[in-house]
Amino acid sequence: MRNEAVGPLGGLLGRSTAMESLRDEIVRFGPTELRIHVHGETGTGKERVARALHAISPRAGGPFEPFNAAGFSDELVEAELFGHTRGAFTGAHVAREGYVAAAEHGTLFLDEVAELTPRAQAKLLRFLDEDAYHRLGETALRRADVRVLSATNADLGERVRQRRFREDLWYRLKQHRTFVPPLRERGGDILFLARHFLRHWAEPGGPEPRLSKEAEAAIARYAWPGNVRQLESEMRRVAVIAAGGVVHPCQLSAEVQQPELVEGGRLRAARDEFERCYVRRVLDRHGGVRTTAAAELGITRQALFAKIRRLGVFAEGSGDAQSSARDERRPRV
């Protein structure tokens, strides 16, 4: 995203009660030294929450180092977190400091912490207990002054019950636990964020695209399994397609337009929705004047009238009577 002049909580947009509560929680616990575990579904903004916690803490002047724990072998997790000496393992051609050292006097954010292997969990547990660590390949003990925040979309309590995650490590990571609500539980925030992202990704200096009522309805009823990240990606794509005009449902991704049609495969309803959207876009482009819209569509004005009646199509921002009046002033074809 382009840089925006926002405060520490500026990235946590939303007017819902759930987001107000989350911001209040951040303000309360951010200035502490508590280790906070951030739980939420994929795309809800867990790293944004961690960055906000860091930004209002006494460590705000220090670094914020995010480390994604997923996909590393035992040796690589240890080397990445704690650093290594030259020759500590195959491929270690130079010595390297780890994320812990890089976060000194700041915040270390461990994302996807549920994916840590049993050995990596043991190493992390020792570090949290002692605030000290060994670089891979050396015996000297190094001290660390870092605050540790963690996050995952998995239920770590359930992982503990399944003996897939250490209980003692879980208790050390969650001195406080905060929850980031999914987008579907944030009510009006869905359209609030959709409009925000659409404005943000509009062409600089050009007209701002806007959502039609039908597009808003489609966006509001969709479940958004990818949450805010998915919504922003959708609006970024739509901003390019709309190019400063009105966004209609057919310009949205298929699953957002009408998820029940995608799942149920009702061909006639899906075809009518596409035709309704396409005709409306052409009418919008010609200011609701049906004669010129019909010419672009390659059909007669009478055929366009019939489609408008059957599909319930009206140009965005213009009434049926207004369109008829404009048409009557034009020569008939």
Scored b (16 or more CB within 10 A) or e, 270-282 reads beebeebbebbbb
* pLDDT score, position 129: 95
Same domain, 290 and 318: yes
Separation of alpha carbons 225 and 218, rounded Å: 15
Q: Extract the tokens encoding 145.
A: 């002054």
Same domain, 143 and 275: no
Residue 171 belongs to a domain with what CATH number? 3.40.50.300
Residue 299: inside a domain: yes
Scored b (16 or more CB within 10 A) or e, 144-182 reads bebbbbbbbbeebeebbeeeebbeebbebbbeeebbbbb
Q: Which of 56, 70, 139, 132 is nearest to 100 (CA)?
A: 132
Same domain, 198 and 285: yes
Residue 308 belongs to a domain with what CATH number? 1.10.8.60
Of 158, 181, 204, which residue is a domain's last?
A: 181
Q: Taking the CA of residue 134 as centre, how many other CA atoms within 13 Å lie in the half-sphere pointing to its CB? A: 8
Q: Per residue of the chain (333 residues), what is the pLDDT tens digit?
A: 333 334 677 689 999 999 999 999 999 999 999 999 999 999 999 999 999 999 999 999 999 999 999 878 887 888 889 987 776 676 767 878 889 999 999 999 999 999 999 999 999 999 999 999 988 878 889 999 999 999 999 999 999 999 999 999 999 999 999 999 999 999 899 999 999 999 999 988 888 899 999 899 999 999 999 999 999 999 999 999 887 788 988 889 988 986 554 444 455 666 666 677 777 777 777 777 888 888 877 788 877 787 788 777 755 444 443 444 444 444 443
State how many domains the chain has: 2
Of 132, 156, 181, which residue is a domain's last?
A: 181
Same domain, 103 and 154: yes
Residue 261: inside a domain: yes
* pLDDT score, position 284: 76
Residue type for 12, please? L
Same domain, 156 and 40: yes
Residue 7: inside a domain: no
Domain holding 53, by residue range, is: 17-181
Of 129, 155, 181, which residue is a domain's last?
A: 181
Residue 310: inside a domain: yes
